[in-house]
Amino acid sequence: MADKIVVSGVKKHFRSGKQSLPVVGGVSLSVADGEFVAIVGPSGCGKSTLMKIVSGFERADEGQVLIDGVPLLRPSPKGIVISQHGSVFPWLTVQENLMFGLNGDGHGDKAALADHYAAMVGLKGFENSYPRELSGGMLKRVEIARALVVKPEILYMDEPFSALDALMNLRMRTELLRILQEERHTVLLITHDVEEALYLADRIIVLSPRPTVIQASFAVPQSHPRKLSSPELQTLKDAILAELGL
Ligand SMILES: Nc1ncnc2c1ncn2[C@@H]1O[C@H](COP(=O)(O)OP(=O)(O)O)[C@@H](O)[C@H]1O
Ligand SMILES: [Mg+2]
């Protein structure tokens, strides 16, 4: 498979007063077209910073990011970011939120397309509801639907489910897998949850503490749906936790 994302030699530091804070210490990685890669690492190691660089919202000091072989200089229309902070517009209904990104022609019947994606994430019947009428889990699904409706080639997710309770978190994982089976995207997921990574990803990259570098990489050679209690995944989980010093 062709490489969708190629990150080479990316370094980043922040400056506060006279202090220089090295955050990304030199990261190189590739994500194949259609691959699901999860990145785990200790809190504050630079995961979000790396994600911002790979999605074009932050510039690296050194190194570069290629999307389909082209240097990334700003956020690419090929990618959509789903972050832990919700970005659903409270003054628009579910349907209007989903239609919001569909500017320009060429989408056909926008309302019908919005409703299709609302149904896909289990929100059929809530198309005309306002965000305040929905639960946290439903809001998260609106956000996922809103990202998917524009048919992004790359889905960047930075701890997308961390604000949800444990049960809803589990539901969303299953939901996401089901959606990805219908429509394959290249996915880069940042998470601090090793089980979430094991459940979802084709490959798991473990980052070191700040300034972060890639410390280890594990393939997850198991088809979906996965059983986290299987001996293979338990062994893999132990290996990843060991890398994280736990
Ligand atoms: N815009 C910024 N300016 C200064 N420091 C920052 C900025 N963004 C992140 N940092 C610092 O970089 C480090 C890594 O942050 P972040 O990438 O958010 O980590 P993670 O997502 O792994 O928890 C932290 O120490 C954070 O305070
Ligand atoms: Mg973060």
Domain residue spans of the chain: 3-78+154-243, 90-151
| Mutation probe of ligand 1 site: the residue of 12, 48, 51, 190 with most atoms within 8 A of C-beta | 48
Alpha-carbon distance of 84 to 139, in angstroms, equals: 12
- Give the pLDDT score at 153: 94
Which residue's alpha carbon is at the smallest distance from atom 4 of ligand 1?
14
Residues 50/81, Cβ–Cβ less than 8 Å: no
Q: Please, which residues have CB within 8 angstroms of residue 119's CB and are 6 or more apart in sequence?
A: none
Q: Which ligand is nearest to the CA of 84?
A: 2
| Mutation probe of ligand 1 site: the residue of 11, 27, 49, 213 with most atoms within 8 A of C-beta | 49
List C-alpha distances in Å: 95 to 110, 113, 143.
9, 9, 12
- Give the pLDDT score at 184: 84
User: Both tokens of residue 125?
Assistant: 């019947």
Residues 72/56, Cβ–Cβ less than 8 Å: yes
Give the residue among 111, 31, 102, 104 at the shortest CA–CA distance from 67: 31
Q: What separation in Å is there between the alpha carbon of 244 and the centre of ligand 1? A: 19
Residues 221/236, Cβ–Cβ less than 8 Å: no
Report pTM: 0.91
Class at the top of the CATH hierarchy for domain 3-78+154-243 = alpha beta
Q: Which ligand is nearest to the CA of 162?
A: 2
Q: What separation in Å is there between the alpha carbon of 48 and the centre of ligand 2? A: 4
- Give the pLDDT score at 166: 85
Q: What separation in Å is there between the alpha carbon of 48 and the centre of ligand 1? A: 7
Q: Enumerate residues lining ligand 1, CB below 6 A.
A: 14, 16, 21, 23, 41, 43-49, 210
- Give the pLDDT score at 137: 84
| Atom nearest to 46 CA in ligand 1 | 17
Q: What separation in Å is there between the alpha carbon of 98 and the centre of ligand 1? A: 31
3-state secondary structure of 246: coil
Element (H, E) at 190: strand 186-191
User: Residue 202: what are its φ and ψ, rounded to 5°?
Assistant: -80, -30
Low-confidence ranges of the chain (pLDDT < 70): 1, 104-106
Which residue's alpha carbon is at the smallest distance from atom 3 of ligand 1?
14
Which residue's alpha carbon is at the smallest distance from atom 7 of ligand 1?
14
| Mutation probe of ligand 1 site: the residue of 18, 23, 57 with most atoms within 8 A of C-beta | 23
